[in-house]
Structure 1
Amino acid sequence: MDVDSERLAATFTELCETSSPSRQEGRISRLVQRVFSELDPLEIIEDDSSGRTGSQCGNLIIRFAGALDLEPIFFSCHMDTVQPGENVRVQRDGDLFTSAGDTILGSDDKSGIAACIEAMRLLRESNRPHRPVEFVITTCEEIGLLGAKALDPGLIRAREGYALDSTGMARIITHAPAANRLTITVEGVAAHAGLHPEWGVNALILAARALTLVPGGRIDEETTANFGTISGGAASNIVPERVVIEGEVRSHSMEKLTRVTDDIRRIFVETVAAWSDPTGAARGKPRVQVDVHEDFPVMALAPGHRVLRRVNAAAQSIGMHLFYEKAGGGSDANIFNGRGLATAIIATGMTNVHSTSEQVTLKDMVDLTRLLIALLTETSY
């Protein structure tokens, strides 16, 4: 079964040139629904998640019956993009797709959606029997996996699937870390910095002291910590009374995730508690609050898991050699795995994502389409 590469290219271009920054996915949702509706699905469901995500639309579940007596699987992609993602214009140079240069391209994750569409078109045109399949197209992935978090897993009949959302090609992601998001608020006391600085308690200095002591960067081969933003203060002549720091901890080990998070909390609490007033004139004492939000759970598939055996057999049937790797980032697959839906991540060929130099080749999207068809039609696993 030969992939119609030019049709795939046209589909990909139309998807990319349909703007869909996070929470503005209405147009791309309508386009995806229209295209899939022409392929005789059992049903197209748009869930009610928009009230929780703030998106213009809900997640989509597009269900197809299958003539093969095999268990259903699902493929997941996300329809939103990062900014700058308005008015994307796709440039094609032979096999290579890029943007005009002042926006992202949108191959993250429209390369995955395009491959799903082309795979179903080919199966419908050829009348080739395939297993039951669902396409789960989420919103707001790029801003915290919000669509997947708001999705009722009971809407998905398949218990196993594949998220098409990673860089490179022929890569299967089997592990991804859990993450805690941290918001640390240090409260001091405001005072005029020139007239009465001794009345104040400088929250910024206390925060800086703690930041020099906490673990950061690469902790070990499984664990990282980062502090990404710091904000506070009112003016250079006012002792800053409040500083807010946003950070995160990630680890493939839940024990390490908890330990590093607790270490950060302890260091900030101890640093603030150790504050002393050298003049005795301060009009208050400092306080600190460390809020921890569980951002996404760990993803870990055992080497012999059926979802991996299936994709390996499918790849072998088309002469593709796969590489199995651990990732450092989170995706919708973390959420699905955490809710009992075994999910591996398949790379789509995209590179330089989240930048204006993002690109993907047609060959990689063709190969991805071939792999999806093999996953749907092979009966040897």
Structure 2
Amino acid sequence: MNKDRLIDQFMEMVQIDSETGHEREMADYLLETFKEMGIEALEDDTQEQTGYGAGNILVRLKGDNTNAEPIYFTVHMDTVAPGVGVKPSIDGDYIVSDGSTILGSDDKAGIASLIEAVRTIRESGMRHGDIEIVITVGEESGLVGAKAFDATQLKSGFGYAIDSTGKVGTVVTTAPTQSKIEAHIHGKTAHAGVAPETGVSAINIAARAISQMKLGRIDEETTANIGRFEGGGATNVVTDYVYLIGEARSLDDKKMKAQTAHMKETFEKVAEDMGGRAKVSSDVMYAALKASKDSEVVSTAVQAIENIGRRPDLISLGGGSDGNIFAGAGLDTAILGLGYENIHTTEEKMPIEELHKITELVIEIIKVQNDKEQNA
């Protein structure tokens, strides 16, 4: 690879504003970059559906080894706030911002690694199968772009999301499914000082229901939490309405559904018992990601990691990513760590060595996959 070109590419991209929902400038930059490279890159029409700043971008690099199975990579172009006016610089072994904004290595380091990997592969003449790259919008605000993307467009059966903490060599093989739970609790208003006994406090209903729920760490695979509690007003009024948002997560779909049902039923039963009512809804935000250790997606990554001189570290992640969405669409997916540090803060920094290594790993994964098919 060209290490200087890689660093320049990364530093140029982080200076392009692309906070989640405002990805237009970044999308245009990427489309132009791939066009200049002579590579097919198309923006989908999901912007109309999502209302975000752009659609997702699908990049296809035709391979010269028709026996090699196609492979896909996914990254996202949006960042969290504060991400406007990023001023990057090199500080020793790191690339950093000026401290007033994030840096944006999540996930522009992933994008830079893919661009440099593609350039290196083409310049070296390395044989490979078809390579597909999906660059999404809205990852930071609920995996919006990935959810809207039509994964049936992809020819690949497996691939990698390049978007995880942990040094290069980290491979996320399992990540939970998550259900979002919304509860509208209705009581009965009354004057709190004159006739409180005629009222039914929605706050009391919600509090008692929460106290009866199993929350926090349910078991080694499952967690649950109430994250928002809104309602009430004057102290002399019995509150007749509150709104709550919670979640249930698990590596096991059945456990997530069971925990969601438990929370819903608890709200409803307590409300009924206390003379109120509860309207509770739930929505599965993303499916679980499960890649077995002997699957092609994991074995290919492990071999490639060892080939570049790193030790594979297979882990389970507690949060979801675009990788969950693609796994839920039937694509065997693992998530690769790329070594960024302190993401989503103004202290974010990108180790230069890890930027080099993730690019090296992408190239090696493609090489390993090609060699497997040649030797088959």
| Residues 183-332 of structure 1 aligned to structure 2 (within 5 Å) | 183-275=182-274, 285-332=275-322
Structure 1 position 64, deviation (Å): 0.7
Greater CA deviation, 120-129 or 160-169? Answer: 120-129
Aligned partner of 1:380 in structure 2 is 371
Q: Is the 8 A contact 1:23 1:53 kept in 2?
A: no
Greater CA deviation, 183-192 or 297-306? Answer: 183-192
Deviation digits for residues 257-307 of structure 1 (CA, Å, limit 9, x no counterpart): 1221121122212211221xxxxxxxxx41101111011111111111011
Q: 2:159 aligns with which of 142, 161, 166?
A: 161
Structure 1 position 200, deviation (Å): 2.6
Distance 2:115 2:35 in 1: 11
Amino acid at match of 1:61: L
Structure 1 runs of 4+ aligned residues shifted over 6 Å read none
Q: 1:344 aligns with which of 330, 334, 346?
A: 334
SS at match of 2:58: strand
In percent, how many aligned pairs have the same letter? 39
| Residues 131-170 of structure 1 aligned to structure 2 (within 5 Å) | 131-169=129-167, 170=169
Distance 1:119 1:286 in 2: 60
Structure 1 position 238, deviation (Å): 2.6
| Residues 44-63 of structure 1 aligned to structure 2 (within 5 Å) | 44-63=41-60
Aligned residues: 369
Structure 1 position 28, deviation (Å): 0.8
Aligned partner of 1:281 in structure 2 is none
Distance 2:345 2:25 in 1: 22
Structure 1 position 195, deviation (Å): 4.3
Distance 1:198 1:348 in 2: 59
Distance 2:221 2:129 in 1: 37
Distance 1:287 1:261 in 2: 18
Deviation digits for residues 232-261 of structure 1 (CA, Å, limit 9, x no counterpart): 123333322211111100001122112211
Structure 1 position 167, deviation (Å): 0.5
Cα 1:320/1:264, change in 2 over 3 Å: same
Normalising by the residue count of structure 1, what TM-score does the alignment of the two structures yield? 0.93
Deviation digits for residues 149-191 of structure 1 (CA, Å, limit 9, x no counterpart): 1111122121211000000111001111111100011011223
SS at match of 1:103: coil
SS at match of 1:114: helix
Distance 2:246 2:87 in 1: 34
Distance 1:82 1:190 in 2: 41
Aligned partner of 2:180 in structure 1 is 181
| Uncovered stretches (5+) of structure 2, i.e. residues with no partner | none
SS at match of 2:217: strand
Cα 1:371/1:222, change in 2 over 3 Å: same
Amino acid at match of 1:319: G
Distance 1:218 1:138 in 2: 32
Structure 1 position 337, deviation (Å): 1.0
Amino acid at match of 2:287: P
SS at match of 1:380: helix
Structure 1 position 315, deviation (Å): 2.2
SS at match of 1:165: strand
Deviation digits for residues 39-86 of structure 1 (CA, Å, limit 9, x no counterpart): 221x21111111222112100001111122311111100111112222
Q: Is the 8 A contact 1:183 1:247 kept in 2?
A: yes
Aligned partner of 1:79 in structure 2 is 77
| Residues 83-102 of structure 1 aligned to structure 2 (within 5 Å) | 83-102=81-100
SS at match of 2:303: helix
Structure 1 position 125, deviation (Å): 2.4
Distance 2:194 2:97 in 1: 55
Structure 1 position 98, deviation (Å): 2.1
Q: Is the 8 A contact 1:187 1:243 kept in 2?
A: yes
Q: Is the 8 A contact 2:19 2:83 kept in 1?
A: yes
Distance 2:184 2:15 in 1: 41
Aligned partner of 1:360 in structure 2 is 350
RMSD over equivalenced CA pairs, Å: 1.5
SS at match of 1:82: coil
Distance 2:280 2:98 in 1: 43
Amino acid at match of 2:163: D
Greater CA deviation, 252-261 or 124-133? Answer: 124-133
Q: Is the 8 A contact 2:31 2:42 kept in 1?
A: no
Distance 1:111 1:249 in 2: 31
Distance 2:51 2:101 in 1: 23
SS at match of 2:342: coil
